[in-house]
A and B are shown apart, each in its own frame.
Chain A
Amino acid sequence: MAAESPLMALFGRSPVKPMQEHIKIAHECVTLLIEFFDAAVEEDYETAEKVRTRITDLESQADDMKKDIRSHLPNSLFMPVSRSDLLELLSMQDRLANSAKDISGVMLGREMIIPKKIRKSMRKYLQASVDTSEKALGALSELDELFETGFGSREVKLVMGLIATVDKAESKTDELEIKVRKQLRGVETEYPPVDIIFLYKVIEIIGDMANYAQRVGSRMQILLAR
């Protein structure tokens, strides 16, 4: 016969842990790309397909988590950060997983053959993009400490430093992208044009992925700016 206590109704579900869980899953998708790429380079698309299944599974898991977080953030919630900033951050996180799914999807769909001459630099480029995502994960792992300290100036400074590392990783990815494109241009006439068009597409999405990671950082920065 317990009455619904106003004290119970007062507490909404904190979005902090779920947000952190979400980017963890999204980043796991991203890291699987390395394994996927290594199989694809060997033209072992059987293994690649298995990895791709893991990526899509994780992506849909991230998707469910995103919906769950959104549904627990009604308009009436009072939070120390802006609700719309938080939702923006969430959708950037989610795009990391989406990019990983897209990259593996395009490559698997075409059973893409990577020209020997660009394999090494493309692997490096992909790794740089994955690293950018990892830096974003690192910044997000401070989210619980940020809330705990009530957005204390020390903690904010620390997070700002982490966000700077995300930016740095992203610009490194940019540089590598230019290099890969240049190399590909040198050999592009030796391969069927349609394959090359899609390869350019894949290179583009890998760059986008790093971009989304960077935007996770900048969204977090906006979150702190209030």
Chain B
Amino acid sequence: MSIIAEYGQWFIILVCIFGFLMAWGVGANDVANAMGTSVGSKALTIRQAILIAMVFEFAGAYLAGGAVTETIRKGIIDPGLFASSPELLVYGMMSALLAAGIWLVIASIMGWPVSTTHSIVGAIVGFAAVGVGSEYVNWSKVGSIVSSWVVSPVLAGVISFLIFKSVHKLVLNTKDPFASAKRWVPMYMFFVGLLIGMVTLLKGLKHVGVSLSFWESFGISLILGVVVMLLGTALLSRIKLDPEENRDFRFTSVERVFSVLMIFTACAMAFAHGSNDVANAVGPLAAVYNIVSSGGLVASKSAMPAWILLLGGGGIVLGLATYGYKVMGTIGRKITELTPSRGFAAELGAAATVVLASGTGLPISTTHTLVGAVLGVGMARGISALNLQVIGTIIASWVITLPAGAILSILFFFMFKGMFS
């Protein structure tokens, strides 16, 4: 107890810095993956993508990011067991943040594909299992998180497959694809609004202190869906068939219709990403803050203060503004093969999956989910050339990242323990 009382201020300052750096890293690298598809398909310029990301990452983090933060804070390890020595939990969470952050920097310099989510989960499990004792880890929760890493890309793939199949049937394989696109694209927009509304209202807002019944939420989400649809229809009315541009490739105008839709799915993607990945930075921060502010009481049920989510959101926005735009450009240039009629299907499938995981409190990798979604569109014969070796790379990144995060976090844990106790 005395350690907490003595160094409490320092812990808060340190963990805020680490958490902010981590959020910066998420903004600098991860967001670019979430938004790169929209940039690559030329639905958005980099500048527009950044603006959308800033608004919706933040909204996602604030409105729907609570559940995953809870998991990181007190789902993977059982804080109740730390009641007699809360300082260990403080060291652990600080080490986990620092380890994941440093590992991300190393991996980025080396050009290895790693996931923020996997780093932080590995780091938390690492310090708890080795630094404190394996009984402190909630292994069944860890098991469900790890299996969600396999399930989420597959689920996103299935959803995107079905979405693209519907596009194929309703729009592309019709007599007048342009008219069909104009008719059906607003429906997809409606679903985007409904999806975001449902997750926010059912799962997210209770962390902000608002509680609605299922049917109230459903009603409001329906209204949101309609509003989004009307907004989209207004934007679509400006898209006119241009026979000149269709001479060489008859679907140019159709793709322009879909690129309007992609503005909306990009918003959904940023929202989804914010709701899931901000927790990686903010969860440990919240854990430490809770202990210190209650003077060492671990099991306190107090709600997470809003400023913590704001700090996370702010870090992401800063990461985006200082570095993320570059990465976004790089990714955008590389994936130009993804046209809006495909890109939207992939984004919507991925966003739906991520948002679902956020609602359930499962930390997953947005990038891997998006890869699964793109593969799903590919399976529906939607993409001309996909490199399947990526699947191996992803599995390799799991295998490397988890132990790497864990080992670094164990090292830092003993370092902090030696410094303060």
- Chain A positions near chain B (C-beta within 8 angstroms): 1-16, 73-74, 76-80, 144-145, 147-155
Residues of chain B lying within 8 A (CB to CB) of residue A152:
168, 172-173
**Interface SS of chain B: helix, strand, loop or mixed?**
helix
Residue among B109, B113, B331, B337 making CB contact with A14, cutoff 8 Å: B337
Tier of interface size on chain B: 35 or more
Q: A33: shortest Cβ distance to chain B, in Å?
A: 26
Q: Beyond the given A5-B36, A154-B175, please list 12 additional residue pairs across the A-B interface where CB-CB is below 8 A.
A: A2-B111, A3-B111, A4-B113, A8-B36, A9-B387, A77-B387, A78-B385, A144-B249, A148-B341, A150-B164, A150-B173, A152-B172
Residue among A2, A16, A144, A155 making CB contact with B29, cutoff 8 Å: A2
A9 touches B390 (CB 8 A): yes
A6 touches B337 (CB 8 A): no
Residues of chain B lying within 8 A (CB to CB) of residue A150:
164, 168, 172-173, 380-382
Residues of chain B lying within 8 A (CB to CB) of residue A15:
384-385
B390 touches A4 (CB 8 A): no
Residue among A4, A79, A147, A153 making CB contact with B386, cutoff 8 Å: A79
B251 touches A145 (CB 8 A): yes
- Tell which of B42-50, B88-96, B278-286, B364-372 binds the partner: B364-372
Residue among A1, A9, A78 making CB contact with B393, cutoff 8 Å: A9
Residues of chain B lying within 8 A (CB to CB) of residue A76:
387-389
Residue among A1, A9, A80 making CB contact with B384, cutoff 8 Å: A80
> B322 within 8 Å of A by Cβ?
no
Residue in chain A with minimal CB distance to B381: A80
> B294 within 8 Å of A by Cβ?
no
Docked complex Cα distance between A151 and B169 (Å): 11
Residues of chain A lying within 8 A (CB to CB) of residue B411:
none
B385 touches A1 (CB 8 A): no
- Chain B positions near chain A (C-beta within 8 angstroms): 29, 32-33, 36-37, 105, 107-114, 164, 168, 172-175, 177, 249-251, 326-327, 330-331, 334-335, 337-339, 341, 367-368, 370-371, 374-375, 378, 380-390, 393-394, 397
Q: B44: shortest Cβ distance to chain A, in Å?
A: 16
Residue in chain B with minimal CB distance to A148: B251
Q: B390: shortest Cβ distance to chain A, in Å?
A: 5
Residues of chain A lying within 8 A (CB to CB) of residue B331:
5, 7-8
Residue in chain B with minimal CB distance to A10: B390
Docked complex Cα distance between A15 and B168 (Å): 21
Beyond A8-B330, A11-B338, is A78–B113 a contact (Cβ under 8 Å)?
A: no
Question: Can you list 12 A-B pairs with a CB-CB distance of less than 8 A?
Answer: A5-B36, A9-B390, A11-B385, A12-B337, A80-B384, A148-B339, A149-B251, A150-B382, A151-B381, A152-B168, A152-B172, A154-B173
Beyond A10-B386, A150-B164, is A5–B32 a contact (Cβ under 8 Å)?
A: yes
Residue among B109, B175, B250, B367 making CB contact with A6, cutoff 8 Å: B367
Beyond A13-B337, A78-B378, A150-B382, is A6–B113 a contact (Cβ under 8 Å)?
A: yes
Residue among A2, A9, A14 making CB contact with B385, cutoff 8 Å: A14
A2 touches B326 (CB 8 A): yes
Q: A151: shortest Cβ distance to chain B, in Å?
A: 6
With most chain B CB atoms within 10 A of its CB, the pick from A13, A78, A150, A155 is A150
B330 touches A80 (CB 8 A): no
A155 touches B383 (CB 8 A): no
Residue in chain A with minimal CB distance to B327: A2
Beyond A2-B29, A14-B337, is A79–B385 a contact (Cβ under 8 Å)?
A: yes
Residue among B113, B173, B250, B386 making CB contact with A5, cutoff 8 Å: B113
Q: A219: shortest Cβ distance to chain B, in Å?
A: 17
Q: A57: shortest Cβ distance to chain B, in Å?
A: 25
Docked complex Cα distance between A15 and B367 (Å): 25
Docked complex Cα distance between A150 and B383 (Å): 8
Residues of chain A lying within 8 A (CB to CB) of residue B251:
145, 148-149
A10 touches B374 (CB 8 A): yes
Docked complex Cα distance between A2 and B29 (Å): 7
Docked complex Cα distance between A73 and B107 (Å): 29
B113 touches A3 (CB 8 A): yes
Beyond A2-B326, A149-B168, is A79–B105 a contact (Cβ under 8 Å)?
A: no
Residue among A11, A145, A151 making CB contact with B334, cutoff 8 Å: A11
Residues of chain A lying within 8 A (CB to CB) of residue B387:
9-12, 74, 76-78
A78 touches B382 (CB 8 A): no
Docked complex Cα distance between A76 and B174 (Å): 33
Q: A162: shortest Cβ distance to chain B, in Å?
A: 14
Docked complex Cα distance between A145 and B248 (Å): 10
Residue among B107, B249, B371 making CB contact with A7, cutoff 8 Å: B371
